[in-house]
Chains A and B, each alone.
Chain A
Amino acid sequence: MRGCVGSLDKDTVLVSFYVMHDITLKTLHENTSKCLDRVKRGERFRVLRNGKAGAFLVPADEALDPSWDVIMAEVRAARGKAGMTQPNPVLAERKKRIFGGNSQSPSR
């Protein structure tokens, strides 16, 4: 089902989540017509063959997604160029909340 999940702020409103359903080849074979009807209504399916993704079923009027490598290319290039690293802010925030900035936790 393609739908907008949540509407907490401007950014979130603008994001559509393409929720993809997994479907086995057997189920697709047995319910091809129903599946295609659902795709026509905007749903997307990932077809699994022997448990692994083999194909996608997406509405014909939608553009295909860029590959994940394309999405992450800029991040990977930046990582390659970046010299200094920075502390993870999620850990820093948790540590501060639990230990009040007093770093007594041996395992973080």
Chain B
Amino acid sequence: MPLVYADTSALFAYFYPLDEFSRQVDEAVKAQSVDFVYWPLVRFELRHNLRRLKTDKYGVIAWRALRAGEQTAWRLRWHGELTADRILDSAEELSAEQATQVHCGSSDVLHVAAARRVHLLSGLEEFWTCDGTQAELARKIGLPTRLFSA
């Protein structure tokens, strides 16, 4: 199964049916049958944003699907080697290399640094994001990148 690092913007869109990028991400998943890198930052951002939507019925549907997905061995592949201290160091390096050239926020850099680490360790099929600036950074450091645009 191809391994993809989906930034939280893309993973959120995959689970939340009303999201502007939801259809595009779902079609990409169906076409390639990918596994997603899952680690504490993605889990936290994804859950945080879905929790905030648990007041609407679509948010509840998304939350249920995520929780069911987390409890199976499908798709969401837990990466134990992606620990906060390592990725913060990698992000610091990446920031030193690119901060003046690409106008990314700090969380954008964290995700790209994590994706770069997975790419080096075990090979990554693609980096998926809905965030243009983040895609620019990912491409700049050589990650095969897919940008979903509304």
Which of the residues B13, B78, B107, B150 comes within 8 Å of A94, measured between beta carbons? B107
Interface 0/1 of A59-74, CB less than 8 Å to B: 0000001111001101
Report if A75 contacts B (CB, 8 A).
yes
- Which chain A residues border B100 with CB–CB below 8 Å? none
Count contacts on B: residues with CB < 8 A to the other chain.
Answer: 54
Shortest A103–chain B CB gap in Å is 12
From B9, B58, B73, B103, A18 is in contact (CB under 8 Å) with: B73
Q: Which residue of chain A is the closest to B65 with respect to CB atoms?
A: A75
Q: A19-B80, A91-B131 are in contact. Are A75 and B17 (CB under 8 A)?
A: yes
CA distance A87 to B12 in the complex (A): 11
CB neighbours of A74 from chain B (8 A): 61, 64-65
Check A79 against B23 for contact (C-beta < 8 Å): yes
Given the known inter-chain contacts A15-B70, A71-B68, please indicate yes or no for A85 contacting B18, CB distance below 8 A: yes
Interface centre among A17, A46, A67, A84 (most CB of B within 10 A): A17
> Judging by beta carbons under 8 Å apart, are B40 and A6 in contact?
yes
A-B pairs, 9 with minimum CB distance: A107-B132, A65-B72, A79-B17, A78-B17, A20-B73, A90-B9, A85-B20, A98-B105, A68-B74
Chain A contacts to B: CB under 8 angstroms: 5-6, 8, 11, 15-20, 44, 46, 52-53, 56, 58, 65-68, 71-72, 74-76, 78-79, 82, 84-91, 94, 97-98, 105, 107-108
Q: 6 other contacts beyond A72-B69, A76-B26, with CB at 8 A cut-off?
A: A8-B44, A17-B71, A58-B73, A78-B61, A97-B105, A105-B132
A-B contact pairs, 10 of them (CB 8 A): A18-B71, A53-B1, A71-B68, A78-B17, A78-B58, A82-B18, A85-B150, A86-B16, A88-B20, A105-B132
